[in-house]
Amino acid sequence: MIKNFNLLFVTMFGLGKIKIIPGTLGSLATIIILYILFHTLSISPYLILVGLIIISIYSFLAINSYIENNENKDPKEIVIDEFIGQSIPIYLYEISHGTEKSPDEAIIFYGICFILFRFFDIKKPFPVSFFDKNYKNSFGVIMDDVCAGLYVVLSLICFMVLSSYFI
């Protein structure tokens, strides 16, 4: 029973089992889920944060369970790590500045986060590549996406700082 739940959890309820671009589909599902939570259902950011923390902690256990007898320690069907990494810049955007975000502004920002996250997740600049190559366990599976998410945040901060000088 728990193995079946872990399979559903790490594949985001089977989304990762889709043979074509499972990581991209996981990231896309994440931005849709978070958009609905923040802008359609208007759920408290604190409640969403608690949910993200619980998902992140459980992911370490679920991924370990899923890959323990698997030769490939980072199979493509595991996409919960994309959910965690993609959630970082979106969550930080939503809580930033304490201002109300319009749905149109959010859609544009979510799209930028999606593109940047996929870029960093695929290109794997250091330290994304370090975690991907050196940790063949749930820590490595998750941390390379966390680093990619943090690269998105860093990129957007750099863009905002530089644009403030030119606008």
Give me the average pLDDT of each 10-residue run along the chain (167 residues): 88 93 96 96 95 97 88 84 97 84 89 97 91 87 96 94 83
Q: Left (φ > 0), alpha (ψ -120 to 50) or beta: where does 4 sit?
A: alpha
First to last CA, the chain: 57
pLDDT at residue 46, as a whole number: 96
Cα–Cα distance between 84 and 63 in angstroms, integer? 13
In this prediction the pTM is 0.92
Q: What pLDDT, on the 0 to 100 scale, is given for residue 149?
A: 97
Q: In this predicted structure, what is the pLDDT of residue 102?
A: 82
